[in-house]
Amino acid sequence: MSDETPDYDAQVRDAFPEIADVADESLREKVVEAWVLGLERGGWRDISDVPYAWNIHEVTNVEHVRGVTRIAVDSAEQQRDFHGADPDFDVIRAACLLHDVGKCYEYVDHIDDDELLDPDPTYATEEIPHSLSGYALAHEVGCPLAVQRAIPHFLGEVPKRTLEAELVKSANSASSNAITQSAMGITLQEWVEKYSQTTG
């Protein structure tokens, strides 16, 4: 086992080409910084080792995050072009890219030890749901409040949901339903009922 620290910055940029679509350079860097912190503290060797769900390892978290981002941006374009809405695309992209960064903390106990280096037990735990630890990471690196409040994607986690937050939540559900159907032949709701774990 190598003790050499992985180049998380390069891993994140390679994993998520959608980061380049965030127009604000400072926000782009904050998205990368949050992922780097999550990977370091979680002790991951590679960003592609983080699974989509604790019991679905056929799909990576990276694939899911990219899917959510694409679905949300497509939906936002429809809302703008068809309904005349004015969604903030930088907020949508950044929040989608960060909505599951908390899985770097939450899922360390659900993978083989050889996929990890040295998880920090202060952070690497299932005790805090990933959408809340993702919010905390976004807050810690200084993401704008509009991005922070669009990251918690379960009802009841934030008192007021913005258009951007609703887009993140609905895109997450769409991606998650596709994944549970293709991986296990069940809907997201059936998965939640069967396994009584948070997802997304």
Q: What digits encode the pLDDT tens for the residues 22-79?
A: 999 999 999 999 999 999 999 999 999 999 998 898 999 999 999 999 999 999 999 9
Mean per-residue pLDDT for 92-117?
94
Phi, psi of 59 (to 5 degrees): -120, 135
Q: Give the predicted TM-score (pTM) of the model.
A: 0.93
Q: pLDDT band at 161, cuts 50/70/90?
A: confident
Q: pLDDT band at 113, cuts 50/70/90?
A: confident
Asked if CATH classification 1.10.3210 holds for the domain at 8-195, the reply, yes or no, is yes
Within a 13 Å sphere around the CA of 2, how many CA atoms are in the beta-carbon half?
Answer: 6
Q: Which residues are 60's β-sheet partners?
A: 51
Phi, psi of 55 (to 5 degrees): -120, 15
User: In the predicted model, what is the mean pLDDT of the chain?
Assistant: 92
Q: Who's near 127: CB < 8 A, 6+ residues apart?
A: none
Q: pLDDT band at 156, cuts 50/70/90?
A: low
Residue 199 in this model has a pLDDT that exceeds 60: no
Share of the chain above pLDDT 90, in %: 76
Residue 92 burial (C-beta neighbours within 10 Å; 0-12, 13-18, 19+): buried
Q: pLDDT band at 1, cuts 50/70/90?
A: very low
pLDDT at 4: 78
Residue 160 in this model has a pLDDT that exceeds 50: yes
pLDDT at 200: 54
Domain ranges, ordered by start, for the chain: 8-195
Residue 168 burial (C-beta neighbours within 10 Å; 0-12, 13-18, 19+): buried
